[in-house]
Structure 1
Amino acid sequence: MSRLSIIPKLKRRKILDAIASGKRMDGRGLEEYREISVRRGVVEKAEGSAEARIGDTWVVAGVKIEIGEPFEDTPDEGILVCSADFAPVASPTFEPGPPDEASIELARVVDRGIRSSDALSLKDLCLIPGRKVYVIYIDLCILNHAGNLLDAASLAAVAALMGARKPIYEVRDGEVYPTGEVEPLKLRRLPIAVSMAKIGDAIVLDPTFDEEEVMDTRITVTVDEEGNICAVQKSGPEGMSVEEIWKAIEIAVNKAPKLREKLEAAL
């Protein structure tokens, strides 16, 4: 761990000592989440919105729905666009300016989980093939970073989609006309992202900010209701053995139902 300065090295030592005793610095077990809450309808002007909190980590997601032109290679499919804004007030590690690598990765992982799980049928979002489709924008705003942004962002995004209402358009004479009415955005799956950090030889669920600072690597596994693996994302400088990856997948499959309960209970 030569990449760490003296203070992170000392922090890592304390974290490893706690893990060796079967407990973490905050008293949790290795495979235990912090308190989780999800609330929908937090942004009045959005077509759908939600906030998710995991411990002190706080993410708000807003959904905006517009009409646009499809991509040339998918003329009969709607478009899903996910972006993330890391507000500088959320963490001393965030800086103002264009999206950095971390915010791009976060948006891509959330986007991939929704796409790979087939949560949204993009073909159902087509109005006129090759000309007019629904464009679904998911904007993620990080309000406080206390570790494990990925899981909180995924929860917020899916919860916002669950409550989203899309405007209804009438297709007439090759054009689309607003009817002034709305209908629910249909979700076919509720994908859940479960993130873990490898610290030394241990795999810990829902890493805190301090744990992420000293982790060797992180793995995020997205799971649907049937326990199918929809997406896997690994980030960090160190590798993971096949056994460690399978252990992470097993943890994700076992823990995803708890997070899904929070989604389904959100008001």
Structure 2
Amino acid sequence: MVRETEPSNNEREFVSKAVAEGLRVDGRAHNSVRSIKIVLGPELGYAQVQLGKTRVMASVSCEIVRPSAGNPTDGVLHFNTEFSPMASPAFEFDRISEEEVMVSRMLEKALRRARAVDTEGLCIVAGEKVWAIRVDTRVLDHEGNLLDCACMAAMCALLHFRRPDVTVIGEDVTIHTAEEKNPIALSVHHIPVCVTFACFNDGEHQVVDPLLLEEQVMDGSMTFVVNIHRELCTLSKAGGTPVSPDQVMLCASIAAVKSAEITQLIRQAVAEDAKKRQTDKK
């Protein structure tokens, strides 16, 4: 159940003391991520990810647009995030919160700026027509760590998505339906995964994948964006308590392991969905 109120002083003290003693309110270890459930489809480009009780859906759509003058051969990749008031009493209708802005910016950094998707492969006619890919993420249930869940949902949706095939003859561009030609998957270079840590006790202790209660009590947070090759795409720590270099390196090594595990889950879900679709066609 989503928390509707700020934690009391007793709750704050309890969570902080528990973390200092190596415990967490839900029984997990400091370096344990909640259970992950991935649901894809039925339409291509739709994904829903559940991280514990936090749930986010993502859908991908596309249209043909004119490229920017500075990047005439690059397609467009855009992220839009919506926090539904149904997900948490903290979210207000028609009002953008700081957390919503933060999640949108981090998705931009994690997926677009890290060049997870080959935007050059979205070019149809240089300087004239390119594909614009839009990823809409919507928070359905908020029980902590929205960013990591939203990143997984967006990445699953991008891997699951297929754009229409096109034929270019001179200046004429023909967009084919799925019945005429098989849609084409996006070219994905790598799968960045967000792994967030909550900091407690003046930065002395960190826990991965914080619950909402832990987020409300923490002294600060730190997010690593890592792929399966252990490449650090982005490290974000906006304010909060300082963290020692040794603690940062420890969290980075944990993030690399968690990223590899989550990447395997994503790939498995996409492969199983593709296999099911092939079976249904027969």
Same fold (TM over 0.5): yes
**Aligned position for 1:66:** 63
Higher strand share: 1
Structure 1 pair 84–170 and aligned structure 2 pair: CA distance change class (3 A): same
**Aligned position for 2:54:** 57
Of the three residues 125, 128, 147, the one matched with 1:128 is 125
**Aligned position for 1:150:** 147
Q: Deviation of residue 157 (structure 1)?
A: 0.6
Q: Aligned pair 1:166/2:163, yes or no? A: yes
Q: Which amino acid aligns with 1:160?
A: A
Q: Which amino acid aligns with 1:184?
A: A
Q: Deviation of residue 7 (structure 1)?
A: 4.7
Report matched runs for 1:1-267 at 5 Å.
Answer: 7-42=7-42, 44=43, 47-180=44-177, 181=181, 182-200=183-201, 201-266=204-269, 267=273
Structure 1 pair 236–215 and aligned structure 2 pair: CA distance change class (3 A): farther
Q: Deviation of residue 101 (structure 1)?
A: 2.2
Asked whether the equivalents of residues 228 and 256 of structure 2 are also in contact (C-alpha less than 8 Å), the reply is no
Secondary structure in 2 matching 1:235: coil
How many corresponding residue pairs?
Answer: 260
Q: Distance in 2 between matches of 1:175 and 1:101?
A: 44
Q: Deviation of residue 19 (structure 1)?
A: 1.3
Q: Distance in 1 between matches of 2:231 and 2:7?
A: 41
Please provide the CA RMSD for this pair: 1.8
Q: Deviation of residue 107 (structure 1)?
A: 1.6
Q: Distance in 1 between matches of 2:206 and 2:120?
A: 39
Asked whether the equivalents of residues 8 and 214 of structure 1 are also in contact (C-alpha less than 8 Å), the reply is no
Q: Which amino acid aligns with 1:135?
A: A
Secondary structure in 2 matching 1:89: coil
Q: Deviation of residue 225 (structure 1)?
A: 1.7
Q: Structure 1-normalised TM-score?
A: 0.92
Secondary structure in 2 matching 1:150: helix
Q: Deviation of residue 92 (structure 1)?
A: 1.3
Q: Distance in 2 between matches of 1:89 and 1:257?
A: 32
Q: Distance in 1 between matches of 2:6 and 2:120?
A: 54
Q: Which amino acid aligns with 1:62?
A: S
CA distances 1:177-214 after superposition (whole Å, capped 9, x unpaired): 21223112222211111111101121000000000001
Q: Distance in 1 between matches of 2:166 and 2:128?
A: 14
Q: Structure 2-normalised TM-score?
A: 0.87
Q: Deviation of residue 41 (structure 1)?
A: 1.1
Asked whether the equivalents of residues 107 and 151 of structure 2 are also in contact (C-alpha less than 8 Å), the reply is yes
Q: Distance in 2 between matches of 1:174 and 1:29?
A: 59
In structure 2, the gaps of 5 or more residues are 274-282
